[in-house]
Chain A
Amino acid sequence: MSTQNIIPEVAHKPKPNPWVIVGRGVLQSFLVLLGIVVLYPLLWMALSGFKSNTEIFNSPFALPQNWSFSSYVDAWNNGVSQFVVSSLIVTAMSIVATVLISAWTAFGLTRTKIPGKPLLVGFVLGGMMLSPTVALVPLVRMMQSFGIYDTHWALILLYTAFRIPFTTFLIRAYMLDLPYDLDEAARMDGATEGQIFRKIILPLCQPIIVSCVILHVLFAWNEYLFAMIFTSSADTQTLPVGLTSLMSKHGTDFGQVFAAMTISALPIVIIFFLTQRYFIRGLTDGMGK
């Protein structure tokens, strides 16, 4: 049998089909176009941050005449630095809370014996359908009575609470695919449920957790409704709300507004480009192979 397999296969390439080449060319130019459509506005925004008001109005599509960072510096000093810090705090803390709670929930929903599990799954995932807008008024009362209205804690709590169902949904789908033999082997090795979670399941969920972190960053960094209603002072406001207040104060200085917007978008763009490969893999992995 093995001797037959050794007979070399004649490598013969099929003649290139002209239509295949044309098709590939069309597809590639389409993708390049799509890239331009997505990237150009970002670039335009960043470039406009270097221009003066007159330039922006008279020659909106030209390159800036002199590359002055003054608008960026002004924006940074006029509050953007504070908004960035607030956004970082709220995003980072709500990520940690959301991912840990969701992963632990998903672990319970997929890997333990609990009575009425389907009901519990429905209950947790049903949270995805809860509309934040409808819940606003009671939430305001709640935050006030907790005494955390107009603090970072209000946003951290809300972002965590409202993102847990979706994050749990993603992690649960991933965990369902991890073989249960692993848990059993660990149990034979003497591991407790907590140890199985921390040392076996959580490390194996790394791809989906990276995806969840990115999705959460996208959400928390851009969230506007809660941020607007639950924070009012400049040192608690996050970027989206802060930018609007900046616009109402310096709304005529468009260079500065563009600069502020560029600064706020930059972290997201960088994170996404650095992690995009991971991001897609995590989301598709959970769907089974």
Chain B
Amino acid sequence: MAEIKLRNIRKNYGTVEVLHGVDLDIESGEFVVFVGPSGCGKSTLLRTIAGLEEISSGEFHLDGKLMNYVKPANRGISMVFQSYALYPHMSVFDNMAFGLKIAGVSKDQIQKRIEKAAASLHLTPFLQRHPKALSGGQRQRVAIGRAIVRNPKVFLFDEPLSNLDAALRVATRIEIAKLKQSMPDTTMIYVTHDQVEAMTLADRIVVLKDGKIEQVGTPIELYREPASLFVAQFIGSPAMNLIPARLTKAGNETEVCTKDGNTIRIPVSSGGELIDSSVMLGVRPEDVWLAEAGSGFLKGCISLIEQLGEVQLVYLEGTFFDQPLIAKLPGTTELEVGMEIELSVKPELLHVFDQNEARLKRADFTQHSEPAVYA
């Protein structure tokens, strides 16, 4: 059991407030990822949960117990640091044993627990080595091992993969996913600024921006129904394309008009006060496809092609979008820089953001259903 409740958590350094009231419930055994741009307060939030930073105001409950004033070691929480923070003068074994010795665990127990953890992390041959004599990936595993042996209720990771090279990063990401599967009752909180890590690992993602929660949801919810422009742009790669437009008809179906006079009706509801206001039309690169001349919604001239084999990223310059629009098209389509092309969209896959950067919601209650499959 490890149920976390955060209630209006605030943190300030001197007069600067870094966390502006965070409310969050995490269920026992969940894998939650905090994601957001650098400096948005992810680490700070994680460290207040760990007990390394005092909570300035608000309450943190773990399994119904107030944790604000409980010492880090007594919270039942382990943390893997970004730098690993292994004790350089101790062997791998002693690194893992340090916390257990302090907690007064018997020698036999220590030996047993470390052997078990080392076996599952493939560290058995290295137990007598010092961290200096290990590779980056091995150090990473020692850091995880040191956290595991304490049998924590909650496991915290602060950007654990950022010191590894690309290949190792993918491998370790998979290791962490397996680790989670082997510890179904342990709650894990994982901090990253990388949305791919967030999407692949998380049961639920918490998107943070400037010290506030922007949105909480499963990866697919955040992808399909981002609450705001910020989340829409943060989740998904390449990022969602944005096209400035004007709202011309409100109601259960919204009509918008782009700069060059193209109109489209989108099944989202809008209030009458929005009529004639400027909005942003969002379309994901993978939600467009080539159209016959004269029938497409987006027209432009190809300025760059990034061929990835399976797909190609096509950069389109047009009269009614400010930045090049990126389209993810099948890799086999024959295209060349300089070609004029047209792209079709499906209205139900378009997103509309009002001037407050909030996303307009659908009128009906089918928004959780799968979007229509298109040919």
Footprint of B on A, CB under 8 Å?
A: 179, 181-182, 184-191, 195, 199-200, 203-204
5 of the cross-chain contacts (CB-CB < 8 Å) are A185-B79, A188-B52, A190-B103, A191-B73, A191-B99
| A186 to B95 Cα, complex, angstroms | 10
Given the known A-B contacts A190-B73, A190-B102, A190-B103, are A179 and B83 also in contact in the complex, defined by CB atoms under 8 Å? Answer: yes
One digit per residue, 1 when the CB lies within 8 angstroms of any chain A CB and 0 when it does not, for chain B 145-162 equals 010001000000000000
**Using Cβ atoms and an 8 Å threshold, which residues of chain A touch B85?**
179, 181-182, 184-185
Task: Provide the bound-state CA to CA distance between A199 and B88, in Å.
Answer: 11
Chain B residues whose C-beta falls within 8 Å of the C-beta of A204 in the assembled complex: 88-89
Q: Closest approach, in angstroms, between the C-beta of A43 and any C-beta of chain B?
A: 41
Are A188 and B72 in contact, with the CB atoms below 8 A?
Answer: yes
In-complex Cβ contact of B99 among A179, A188, A203 (8 A): A188
Cβ proximity bits B132-153 to A, threshold 8 Å, 1 near / 0 not: 0000000000000010001000
State in angstroms the CA–CA spacing of A124 and B326 once bound together: 62
A229 and B256 CA atoms in complex are apart in Å by 95
Within 8 A of A (CB), among B40-98: 50-52, 71-74, 77-79, 81-83, 85-89, 98
Q: B103: which A residues are within 8 A, CB to CB?
A: 190
- Is A188 within 8 A of B79, CB to CB? yes
Question: Contacts A179-B83, A181-B83 known; A187 to B88 CB distance under 8 Å?
Answer: no
Q: Report chain A residues within 8 Å CB of B79.
A: 185, 188
Cα–Cα, bound, A71→B141 (Å): 66
A74 to chain B, nearest CB (A): 49
CB-nearest residue of chain B to A203: B89
B73 touches A187 (CB 8 A): yes
With a cutoff of 8 Å between Cβ atoms, the chain A residues found around residue B77 in the complex are 188
Q: Which of A181, A185, A203 has the most CB of B within 10 A?
A: A185
Task: Report the separation of the CA atoms of residues A154 and B88 in the bound assembly, to the nearest whole angstrom.
Answer: 40
Quote the shortest CB–CB distance from A118 to chain B (angstroms). 15
Residue pair A188, B73 in contact (C-beta under 8 Å): yes
Using A186-B98, A188-B52, A190-B103 as known contacts, list a sample of 8 further A-B pairs with CB atoms less than 8 Å apart, ordered by residue number in A.
Answer: A179-B85, A185-B81, A185-B87, A185-B146, A190-B73, A191-B73, A191-B98, A204-B89
- Chain B residues with Cβ below 8 Å from A191 are 73, 98-99, 102
Contact B99 A189 (CB under 8 A): yes
Closest to B79 in A: A188
Q: Name the CB-closest residue of A to B103.
A: A190
A195 touches B89 (CB 8 A): no
C-alpha gap A7/B150 in the complex (Å):
49
Q: In the assembled complex, how far is the CB of residue A4 from the closest CB belonging to chain B, in whole angstroms?
A: 18
* Chain B residues whose C-beta falls within 8 Å of the C-beta of A181 in the assembled complex: 81-83, 85
Return chain A residues, CB-CB under 8 Å to B89. 203-204
Beta-carbon nearest neighbor of A189 in chain B: B99
- With both chains docked as a complex, state the minimum distance between the C-beta of B83 and any C-beta of chain A, in angstroms: 5
A199 to B102, alpha carbons, bound, how many Å? Answer: 11
For residue B81, which residues in chain A have a CB less than 8 angstroms away from its CB? 181, 184-185
What residue of chain B has the Cβ atom nearest to residue A190's Cβ? B73
In the complex the two chains form, what is the Cα distance from A6 to B153 in whole Å? Answer: 48
A189 CA / B66 CA spacing, docked (Å) = 20
Q: Find chain A residues with CB under 8 A from B98 CB.
A: 186, 189, 191, 199
Q: In angstroms, how far is the closest chain A Cβ from the Cβ of B56?
A: 15
Nearest-CB distance from B308 to chain A (Å)? 18
Are B83 and A189 touching (Cβ within 8 A)?
no
Give the nearest-CB partner of B84 in chain A: A181
Complex Cα gap A187–B98 (Å): 11
Question: Contacts A181-B83, A181-B85, A182-B85 hold; do A189 and B102 have CB atoms under 8 A apart?
Answer: yes
The interface centre, meaning the residue of A179, A181, A187, A188 with most chain B CB atoms within 10 A of its CB, is A188
> B88: which A residues are within 8 A, CB to CB?
204
A166 vs B59: C-alpha distance in the bound complex, in angstroms?
Answer: 45
Which A residues touch B71, using CB under 8 A?
Answer: 190
List chain A residues, Cβ under 8 A from B78: 188
The smallest C-beta distance from A160 to any residue of chain B, in angstroms, reads 27
- Roughly how many angstroms separate A187 CA and B53 CA in the complex, as a whole number? 12
> Considering the chains assembled together, what is the distance between the CA atoms of A87 and B270 in angstroms?
91
Give 8 closest A-B pairs by Cβ, nearest first.
A190-B73, A189-B99, A181-B85, A185-B85, A190-B102, A203-B89, A181-B83, A188-B72
